[in-house]
Amino acid sequence: MSETTAKLSENQADAALRERRQREADAFLAEQKALGEGKAPALTPNRQNFDLAEQYRMVFRANIPAGVSLDRVMEPDYFKHVASQVKPGYRIEAMPADGAWFAELLVRKTSKEEVHSWLLLSVDLNAQVEAAQAIGMDATAYEVKFGGAHKWRVIRLADKEVIHHGEPTEADAKAWLANYLKG
């Protein structure tokens, strides 16, 4: 994949994400307007309405199986098994076992089997993968593969020998392979 194509794909993904966020924000505002909430009065700080956030919200960590996309995690039914444990305003930090991405979600509403959330932050942790591939390494003789407890590993295809393991992300494993091939 050329650098231009990668940037184009990244720009398209960013644009789609911005559009989705805007649609969600517009829907939320329309929902609030429908409820008849007008302009809120100015906040008068006192102990009842100005306090530490830790008293009112929780942050959960979701260990996502390897290969699951962020788009799937954003679907309302993905967290249905924990819908009764989260409330609006809570946060969910999500990261797949293969370390491909990290996301922070803000729960905006829940039901018995759905958790609707907004994407606050997402980071593609494999951004270095294309850079490692662009070095021109002879990747045909090796395979970078997720190995569960061994994390990401490098396998020599000629004899199926694992020559390195334990890298937390695919990008790190490919960077290790690039350095290994340099000599």
- Kindly state whether residues 100 and 154 are assigned to the same domain: no
- Element at 166 (helix H, strand E): strand 161-167
Give yes or no for residue 41 having a pLDDT over 70. no
Is residue 42 assigned to a domain?
no
Mean residue pLDDT of the chain comes to: 82
pTM, entire model: 0.55
Closest Cα partner for 181 from 84, 173, 100? 173
pLDDT, residue 47, reads 67
User: Is the separation of the CB atoms in 17 and 122 below 8 Å?
Assistant: yes
pLDDT, residue 111, reads 94
pLDDT per residue as tens digits for the range 42-95: 666 676 777 778 878 899 999 999 889 999 999 999 999 999 999 999 999 999
pLDDT per residue as tens digits for the range 108-127: 999 999 999 999 999 888 76
Query: Tokens representing 53?
Result: 């956030």
pLDDT bucket at 100, cuts 50 / 70 / 90: confident
| Distance from the Cα of residue 162 to its chain's centroid | 28
CATH number for position 91: 2.40.240.20
More reliable by pLDDT, 1 or 69 = 69
Max Cα–Cα distance, the chain, nearest Å: 71
Is residue 152 assigned to a domain?
yes
- Kindly state whether residues 103 and 78 are assigned to the same domain: yes
Looking only at the bridges linking them, the beta strands covering 59-64 and 115-124 are unpaired
- What would the mean pLDDT of 6-16 be, rounded to a whole number? 70
